[in-house]
Amino acid sequence: MKKVSIILVLLAFAATAFGQSPAASAPITEFEVNGLKVILKRRPTSPTVAVGLFVRGGAANQTVDKAGLESITLDTASEGSVKFPRAVLRKELSRMGSSIGAGSNYDYSAISLASTREHFGRTWEIFTDVVKNPTFTQADFDQVRDRTLTGLRNRGASPDDALNNLEAEILYAGHPYAADPSGTVETIGKFTVADLKAYHKSLLETSRLLLVAVGDIDEATLKDLVTKAFGTMPRGNYTSKPLPKLTFTEATINVSQRTLPTDYVKGVFAAPSPADPDYYAMRVAMTLLQSRVYQEVRVRRNLSYAPNAEMGGLAANTGNIYVTSTDANQSIRIMLNEIEKMKAGDVDPDSFMGLAGYFLTTYYLAQETNAAQAAELGKYELIGGGWRRSLDFIPGMHKVTAEEVRAAANKYMKNIRFFVVGKPQALDRATIAGR
């Protein structure tokens, strides 16, 4: 265990040595243009620039029967604009080595750009025209729709996909997350170009948007560009509403029966969001649990190749334990036993102390690119209590105590809802009731 801690410290030193230390963090500023909040992280030595224009709301913007409308609207918009139809856009981006893309999740969507510092001006021109004046040609829409439908039809082909689908269907019923941001075969199949145009028009309000830029660009230059691009856009009166948290009152089991060599099981429980004060303690608790699960289920007993425990990063958040095994009952019993030990305060001091280096290393490795840093700032601004809170991640992890880990485990690791893809007897009620 001491060797592991030493390795983590060395990795943390390596991250610092390569210019990723907190002390060397680039300055972050914010300003507003016509109701549009802008966050800028200037990195004067960076050869690239990344920008994300975020749309607030995510799944809460849609109803179940319109699920996926925001995603397919932004995907189709990024195919071409009035000044830069698809063929011209692709030629220009290829020539410059730039990229423009779109993506959606449960909490927000975004259109993004990445370019070299040299070609940022031209890429920004294309980007803003895509945002404000997409062509929404039938050909572009058909291509995006067909690509989206192919992906949706393949959902559930793998047991893990089927497990995730079962989880979402049960857990999110009656919650805004029930409107899957990717949509369904039924919803995507019925949308028309007219639907996309109407929805896109509703998004063009600065109160709905957030712009984040990371790279070698100064505040005055960015403010001028944003003012010219969005200074006359309608403000609107959009107000973000807090999402209801997921709460589970009892342990349950839901099974999707399949004939498989191994059974796939996931146990899900409520967890704090990135904005919650308990987030740091729960992240530490989940990291410790993941290590214990791996050691007990795989290393010591060889019951599963990839047992896991992890926590998501959504506004309505969850954590889970997961295993695929020919003896899922025994595997889950072991996992639940590890949870009970953690609730009782059984935290090994050696492994606990080594977590500081682990979080330092993984955090800065995940922030290597400007695009990743823009995404992190956007996420925290929208669902994490503000972008400044993203700067508190490492200090927050350092402050977590063993008692806080125990308290988080007791508060959240309960009333676990299990989902099974495999045989109905893969997980019996005695297993979850007898923990």
Rounded to two decimals, the pTM is 0.90
pLDDT tens digits, 242-275: 899 999 999 999 999 999 999 999 999 999 999 9
Bridge partners (DSSP) listed for residue 317: 271
Q: How many residues does the chain have?
A: 435
**DSSP symbol at 79:** T
pLDDT tens digits, 204-243: 999 999 999 999 999 999 999 999 999 999 999 999 888 9
- What are the structural domains of the chain? 34-230 (3.30.830.10), 252-433 (3.30.830.10)
CA nearest to 363, candidates 374, 372, 350: 372
Residue 427 near residue 420, CB atoms below 8 Å: yes
Band (pLDDT 50/70/90 cuts) for residue 109 is very high
User: Which pLDDT belongs to residue 428?
Assistant: 82
Mean pLDDT (the chain) is 90
User: Which pLDDT belongs to residue 435?
Assistant: 54
Residue 430 has pLDDT above 90, yes or no: no
Which ranges in 114-250 belong to alpha helices (H)? 120-132, 138-153, 159-171, 185-190, 193-203, 219-230
Angle of helix 402-412 relative to helix 328-343, nearest 10 degrees, comes to 130
CA nearest to 197, candidates 141, 128, 152: 141
- The pLDDT of 162-183, averaged and rounded, is 96
- The pLDDT of 344-356, averaged and rounded, is 74
User: Which pLDDT belongs to residue 433?
Assistant: 66
- The pLDDT of 141-149, averaged and rounded, is 97
User: Which pLDDT belongs to residue 21?
Assistant: 38
Which ranges in 50-111 belong to alpha helices (H)? 69-77, 86-96
Q: Name residue, tokens 């996926």.
A: 68
The token pair that represents 151 in the structure block: 């992906």
Residue 418 near residue 322, CB atoms below 8 Å: no
User: Which pLDDT belongs to residue 362?
Assistant: 82
With the CA atoms of 94, 98, 101 and 105 taken in that order, what torsion angle do they form, in degrees rounded to the nearest 10? 140
Pairwise pLDDT comparison (17 vs 322), residue with the higher score: 322
Q: Which helix (H) or strand (E) holds 109?
A: strand 108-116
The one-letter amino acid code at 188 reads: I
* Number of other CB atoms surrounding residue 259 within 10 Å: 6
User: Which pLDDT belongs to residue 147?
Assistant: 96
Q: In what order do the strands lie in the sheet with 417-422?
A: 252-257, 417-422, 263-271, 317-325, 308-311
The token pair that represents 262 in the structure block: 């191994």
Q: Which residues, at least 6 apart from 194, have a Cβ–Cβ distance to it below 8 Å? A: none
Residue 10 has pLDDT above 60, yes or no: no
Buried b (16+ CB within 10 A) or exposed e, 332-350: bbbbbebbeebbeeebeee
304 vs 298: CA distance, rounded Å: 5
Residue 405 has pLDDT above 60, yes or no: yes
Q: What single string gives the DSSP state of each residue in 218-239?
A: -HHHHHHHHHHHHTTS------
311 vs 166: CA distance, rounded Å: 18
Q: Which helix (H) or strand (E) holds 61?
A: none
